[in-house]
Amino acid sequence: PSSGPVGTRVTIEGAGFAEKNTIYAGYAVLNDIPSSDGKTLSFAVEPPLPPEIHRSSGLITYWFYVQNKNGLSNVATFYLQTKP
């Protein structure tokens, strides 16, 4: 999905993913994320957010990209919903 609340599971599709990938997602760093087929990665959007963000309304732009032994991916965007 391109947007959702904290905890939304995102699947990245592409090529060149390795057995161990690092996903830089907002302020979080997710290490050793595996790709079973070299074409997809999956992670939950669970950024460290200050309490005042949870009280706000709207969407927060959340960027992420992947790094592994093959290099860096393009940057992708997810829109984090702060309230349902």
Q: Which pLDDT value is given to residue 26? A: 81
Residues of the chain falling short of pLDDT 50: none
In the chain, the N- to C-terminal Cα span, in Å, equals 15
> How far from 21 is each of 1, 60, 62, 78, CA to CA, in Å?
20, 25, 19, 19
Q: In residues, how long is the chain?
A: 84
Q: Which pLDDT value is given to residue 51? A: 65
How far is residue 53's CA from residue 42's CA, in Å, rounded to a whole number?
Answer: 25
pTM, rounded to two decimals = 0.83
- Read off the DSSP letter of residue 51: H
